[in-house]
Amino acid sequence: MNEYEQTPSHYLLGHTAHELRRLDLQGQIYGPITRAALRSAGIGAGARVLDIGCGSGDVSRTIADAVGPNGHVLGIDRGARAIEAATAKVSDLGLEHVSFEQHELDEFETADAFDAVVGRFILMHQREPGRTLSAVTLSVRPGGTVLMIESWMNVLRTGAHSEPYSDLYAEIVEWKSLVVEGAGADLAAGGRLRATFAEAGLVDVRTHLEALYAGAVESPYFEYVEQSVRSMLPEARRLGLGGFTEETSEGLADRLRDEVGRRNGGLVAWPVVVAIGRVPEARD
């Protein structure tokens, strides 16, 4: 496995410096949605929560705030560099009720039962998301909560992504979609969440759609877009896709920010679907 840890059925972006920075920015952008979803799911003080595909630990730290010091959060990820980064951050913050372990999601087992499992932008990278979700929920107690947040990327390919219409953003949307699609990830993972939850045997499922409209020039979304493109370059080269390069992606945030600010416009970030369900009291 190379430094990008690329496997089409898993996480296509690896855990490079660009990607870890992108994950931090992603936390700023999607943090409010995640916090609201945790409240809606009833994940609160004292809960024991499993965070799957934790990356650099942003979601785990958000959950830690919700469950408080009497709760516990375990984040798992297949990437050693991500686990190292996540562990260092919680150590610096003194969050003793958060820990991280390196695991393949389908192979994770524990003798302890969690009250909930949470994941953000992880099922889209699984070849069989329903099977993966079913496997990780074996670690959740009967009646426990399942909360997943997934992107619905192909919604923006219709062109309804900017006002006034941005040719540059259109190029970015299509290029990123081709890379993600070419690597085997699911651009419609968010839209399929109800089916995925049903396949995993979950009950009492409720869903809703949310999207960020980035109109303020100080929004972290512009840097997030650039870091996303830079993270995807190795995979794009592997797929033989043209378009962006190291040179043309550098300064992309400034170009996009200047265009949007000059025109008093805005960009729609990739919409996400929040799905909340419950593990049955009795499994088949």
Mean pLDDT rounded to a whole number for the chain: 91
pLDDT of residue 18: 67
pLDDT band at 4, cuts 50/70/90? very low
10 has a pLDDT exceeding 80: no
Is 21 in a helix, a strand, or coil? helix
Confidence of residue 255 (pLDDT cuts 50, 70, 90): very high
Using CA atoms, how far residue 249 sits from 44, 138, 252, in Å, is 41, 42, 5
98 phi and psi angles, rounded to 5 deg? -125, 135
pLDDT in tens, 186-229: 999 999 999 999 999 999 999 999 999 998 888 999 999 999 99
Q: In this predicted structure, what is the pLDDT of residue 22?
A: 78
- Least-confidence region, from 13-22, 29-38, 175-184, 274-283: 13-22
Is 180 a residue whose pLDDT tops 70?
yes
114 band by pLDDT with thresholds 50, 70 and 90: very high
Residue 283 has pLDDT above 90, yes or no: no
pLDDT of residue 27: 82
pLDDT over threshold 50, residue 11: no
Coil, helix or strand at residue 89: helix
Residues forming beta bridges with residue 120, ordered by sequence position: 149
Residue 161 token pair: 């992504």
Position 3 pLDDT exceeds 70: no
Instruction: State the CB neighbour count (10 A cutoff) for residue 249.
Output: 22
Nearest to 185 by CA among 172, 197, 176, 194: 176
CA distances from 191 to 173, 186, 197 (A): 18, 10, 11
Confidence of residue 267 (pLDDT cuts 50, 70, 90): very high
pLDDT at residue number 266: 96
Residue 69 pLDDT grade (very low, low, confident, very high; cuts 50, 70, 90): very high
pLDDT of amino acid 16? 63
Pairwise CA distance, residues 189 & 12, whole Å: 15
How would residue 14 be classed by pLDDT, with cut points 50, 70 and 90?
Answer: low
Residue 58 has pLDDT above 70, yes or no: yes
Q: What is the pTM of this model?
A: 0.89
How far is 157 from 226, CA to CA, in rounded Å? 18
- Give the pLDDT band (50/70/90) at residue 55: confident
Of 23-32, 101-110, 206-215, least confident by mean pLDDT is: 23-32
Angle at 204 between CA 201 and CA 210, to 5 degrees: 105
